[in-house]
């Protein structure tokens, strides 16, 4: 207390002046989004990426509800997957040669028209072949995650540590979108009407791509035309894509087997736990000062993927399997971050979108093979023993990482 003008007043305690406390250094993710334009293009990309986890679930619910056949719904979505695997690398090549905005916007518009055509064909009971044709037309959908990674690679080309953090963030974003997308699609289709999930996904995709493409200041420069051909010709790329193919089989088989083991509405939350574990591990991995090699990540994945198998066979408890899936999922994001970073190192700078899209295409192919193999195993050996398929697929990916690379890729082999 003190006096002022003869009046007794309260005053803050007097403190001797001292040196100012040093500011707490910003974390790696805070520094990442201080890059000019990073927040803007990331916001648009996340909006565009969320529907990637919505479309297939929405199509299955919509078609199966209208036509009464899950077999037909599965065949239509498989056709779309196959068409995407064929078209996506060509779309990515156009992105590299002509620019993200010039290609992504019209390609997205064509894909959205395909989704709308599918809705109309289902709604008005069009012939079955129109469902396949409509969904195949969505194959022009650009690889938004790849375009975002290409922007980070351009912006952070002189800062490998920050690029590692950016790749980890992108993988965590993938996991988050594929965790929330199916839940949102199922909620919209059940709460509103069967076509709501597809319509909402189309709107989000078009809005997100338009916002993303509008951020021209962070767009990588257009690569000059080259006679180098496909990145597949780069030494070490084809064997690396084989590793991605086997890794995709892990994801595809795990999803089908878990759905069969849960055999009910609990399958969605259980699969979301695996994605949550991967998302958390990806963010933590991005903060690490030094990343692990691809071989080490695949070895960890192989070991952790055995946990759900042990829990299913030994206990038969869904709760135990769910807990093991949460732990097993923690190996997914670090593996994908390291794998995508290897793809970036191998791919020529002017073909980065195409190289990463080839990796995604290999993953999609592996998911299709894993889904079929997991379903066959469940049918003949039971759901619990079906968890052996992702373990075998992870082991195959590890073996390929050790032995499939040719001697010509010496430096890349060492980095694996």
Q: List own/partner pairs for 295-298 with CB under 8 A and 24 or more apart.
A: 295/398, 295/401, 295/402, 295/416, 297/331, 297/334, 297/335, 297/338, 297/339, 298/243, 298/247, 298/335, 298/394, 298/397, 298/398, 298/401
How many whole angstroms separate alpha carbon 173 and alpha carbon 63?
A: 29
pLDDT digits (tens, 9 = 90+) for 156-179: 877 878 887 887 788 778 777 777
How many whole angstroms separate alpha carbon 27 and alpha carbon 288?
A: 11
Helices (H), 124-263: 128-136, 144-155, 160-191, 196-213, 237-262
Strand partners, 3: 8
pLDDT digits (tens, 9 = 90+) for 73-125: 767 877 787 788 788 878 877 887 788 888 889 999 999 999 999 999 988 88
Three-class secondary structure of residue 2 per DSSP: strand
The answer to whether residues 52 and 181 touch, using CB atoms and an 8 Å cutoff, is yes
Q: How many CB atoms lie within 10 A of CB 269?
A: 12
Task: Supply the pLDDT for residue 411.
Answer: 44
Instruction: List the pLDDT tens digit at each of the 416 positions of the chain.
Output: 555 555 555 555 555 555 555 555 557 777 778 888 888 888 888 898 888 877 877 787 788 778 777 667 767 877 787 788 788 878 877 887 788 888 889 999 999 999 999 999 988 888 888 888 988 888 888 888 888 888 888 888 778 788 878 877 887 787 777 777 777 877 787 778 888 888 999 999 999 999 988 888 888 877 666 555 666 677 777 888 888 888 888 887 887 788 778 776 677 678 778 878 887 887 777 766 665 678 888 888 999 999 999 998 988 888 899 899 888 888 887 888 788 778 877 777 667 777 777 887 888 778 777 877 787 888 788 888 889 989 999 999 899 888 754 444 444 444 45
Q: At what angle do helices 332-346 and 294-314 cross, to 10 degrees?
A: 150
pLDDT digits (tens, 9 = 90+) for 357-387: 788 788 877 877 787 778 788 878 888 888 9
């Amino acid at each position: 207390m003190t006096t002022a003008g003869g009046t007794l007043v309260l005053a803050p305690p007097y403190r001797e002046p001292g040196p100012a406390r040093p500011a707490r250094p910003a974390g790696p993710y805070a520094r990442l989004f201080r890059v000019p334009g990073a927040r803007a293009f990331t916001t648009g990309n996340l909006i565009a990426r969320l529907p990637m986890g919505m479309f297939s679930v929405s199509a299955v619910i919509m078609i199966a509800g209208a036509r009464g056949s899950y077999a037909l719904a599965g065949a239509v979505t498989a056709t779309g997957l196959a068409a995407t695997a064929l078209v996506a690398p060509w779309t990515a090549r156009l992105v590299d040669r002509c620019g993200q905005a010039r290609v992504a916007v019209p390609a997205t518009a064509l894909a959205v028209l395909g989704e709308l055509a599918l809705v109309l064909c289902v709604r008005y009971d069009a012939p079955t072949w129109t469902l396949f044709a409509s969904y195949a037309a969505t194959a022009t959908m650009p690889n938004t995650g790849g375009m975002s990674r290409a922007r980070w690679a351009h912006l952070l080309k002189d800062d490998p540590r920050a690029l590692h953090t950016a790749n980890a963030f992108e993988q965590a974003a993938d996991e988050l979108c594929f965790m929330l997308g199916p839940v949102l699609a199922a909620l919209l289709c059940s709460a509103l009407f069967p076509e709501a999930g597809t319509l909402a996904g189309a709107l989000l995709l078009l809005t997100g791509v338009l916002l993303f493409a509008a951020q021209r200041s962070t767009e990588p420069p257009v690569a000059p035309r080259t006679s180098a051909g496909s990145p597949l010709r780069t030494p070490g790329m084809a064997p690396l894509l084989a590793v991605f193919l086997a890794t995709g089989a892990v994801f595809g088989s795990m999803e089908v087997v878990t759905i069969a083991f849960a055999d009910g509405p609990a399958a969605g939350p259980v699969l979301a736990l695996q994605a949550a574990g991967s998302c958390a591990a990806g963010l933590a991995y991005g903060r690490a000062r030094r990343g692990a090699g691809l071989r080490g990540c695949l070895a960890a994945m192989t070991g952790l993927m055995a946990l759900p198998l042990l829990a299913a066979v030994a206990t038969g408890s869904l709760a135990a399997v769910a807990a093991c899936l949460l732990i097993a999922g923690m190996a997914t994001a670090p593996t994908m971050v390291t794998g995508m970073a290897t793809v970036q190192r191998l791919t020529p700078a002017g073909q980065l979108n195409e190289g990463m899209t080839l990796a995604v295409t290999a993953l999609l192919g592996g998911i299709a093979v894993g889904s079929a193999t997991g379903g066959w195993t469940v049918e003949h050996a039971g759901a619990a023993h079906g968890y052996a398929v992702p373990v075998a697929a992870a082991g195959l990916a590890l073996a390929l990482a050790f032995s499939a690379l040719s001697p010509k890729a010496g430096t890349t082999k060492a980095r694996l």
